[in-house]
Amino acid sequence: MTGRVLAIPFDRGGATRFLPWLVALMVFLASLSLAAVMTLQRALSGWDASLAGTMTVELPPAPSPPANAGQNKNPAPNDGNLAAALALLRATPGISAAEPLGRDAVSGLIAPFLGNALTPDDLELPILIDVRIDRGAAPDLADLKAHLDAASPGAIIDDHRLWLGRLLVFARSVEITALLILALIGVVAVLTVMFVTRTGLLVHREAIELLHLMGARDGYIAHQFEREALRLGLVGGVAGLLLSGLTLLALGHAAGASAFLGDAVNLIPALHLKGWNWAVLAGLPLAAGLVAGLTARLTVLATLLRLP
C-alpha cells in the first residue's frame, strides 16, 4: 500500500486553489522586507567604514582679500588661524592626522547643490579641516574645543560619531521592524497552511476513513498532504519571487530616474543588492515550500490522532 501513489482528489478541494496565491503574496512581502534589511545593512557598513574615526573642524571664513588682489588668480588667504588650529590639532593626543580641505575639495562639496557656477571665492565658506581620530584613544572633545576657541575663535567641531550613532540607532530600529514583519509573515503562512490542510481533511474525510479501513497508516496519508502542500508552496513561492524581483528592478530603475543634483540626491532610495543577496532571495520559494509541507504533515498527524 505504501509503495503506491494515493489517489486523493486534491483538485476538488476549493481551499487548495487559494494556497499558491497566498504563498505568492507572503513570499513577495518577505522578499521586499528582506531586500530592505540587506540594503540597510550594506549602507550601515559603508557609513561606519567611511565616517567612523573621522571628524571635521570648521573655522570661520577667511577675510576677503583686498580689491587689488583680484589680479592674482589664487590670492593667498589669511590663514593665521588655520595654521594655529592645525598645529593644535596635530599636537593633540588621539588625533592621527589633520589636513585642510583644498578649494577643489570644497568646490566638489558645494557643486551638487549650487552647481559649478559659484566657487568658494564667491561665497564666505568656512575653512574645513579633515581630522582623523585614533580609534583606540579618542581625544577629549570638550578640552579640544576649549583650546580651539583660544587658537581660532568661532571654531566648530563636527563629530561624525554623534550623528552616526543616532543614525545607527534609527537604522537598527528599522531593521528590527523589518525582521519582525518577516516573522509575522512566517506565522501567517503557517496558520494559513494549517487552515487549508484541515479544510482538506474535512473535504476528503470519507476517502481517508476508507483508506484507514484498508490499512493505510497515518504517516502515509500525512505524506500525501505534505507532498501536495510542498508542490503548491513551491509554485506560489516562485510566482511571488518573480513578482518581487520585477518590483525590485523597477524600484532600482525608478531610483536612478529620480536622481537629481548630479545623482547626489534620490527621491526614491536606491536598492543595491549583490549576487549573494539575490541568492538569499532565491531561497525563499524553497523555504516556503518546506514550511508548507512540514506544517501540512504535522497538522494531518495531529488531526488523525484525535480521530476515533
Specify whether 99 is located in the same domain as 141: yes
Q: What pLDDT is stored for residue 26 in this prediction? A: 92
Per-residue pLDDT 10s for the chain (308 aa) are: 444 444 566 665 566 678 889 999 999 999 988 888 888 877 777 666 556 677 888 888 765 555 454 444 443 444 557 888 888 888 888 787 888 887 777 666 666 666 566 655 666 677 888 888 777 677 777 788 888 888 778 788 877 666 777 777 887 888 888 889 889 998 998 999 998 888 888 877 777 777 777 777 878 888 888 888 899 999 999 999 999 989 888 877 766 555 554 444 444 455 667 778 888 899 999 999 999 999 999 998 888 887 66
Q: How far is CA 66 from CA 77, 119, 126, in A?
A: 10, 18, 18
Specify whether 294 is located in the same domain as 174: yes
Q: Show the domain range for 116.
A: 61-154
Q: How far is CA 226 from CA 10, 119, 230, in A?
A: 12, 70, 6
Length, in residues, of the chain = 308
Overall number of domains in the chain: 2
**106 lies in a domain?**
yes
Q: What pLDDT is stored for residue 118 in this prediction? A: 60
Specify whether 184 is located in the same domain as 299: yes
Specify whether 21 is located in the same domain as 67: no
Hey, what amino acid is at 25? L
Q: What pLDDT is stored for residue 58 in this prediction? A: 82
Q: Which of 109, 124, 154 is where one domain is finished?
A: 154
Specify whether 67 is located in the same domain as 106: yes
Q: What pLDDT is stored for residue 11 in this prediction? A: 64
pTM over 0.85? The answer is no
C-alpha cell at 273: 543588492
Q: What pLDDT is stored for residue 298 in this prediction? A: 92
Q: Is 132 helix (H, G, I), strand (E, B) or coil?
A: strand
**264 lies in a domain?**
yes
Specify whether 170 is located in the same domain as 268: yes
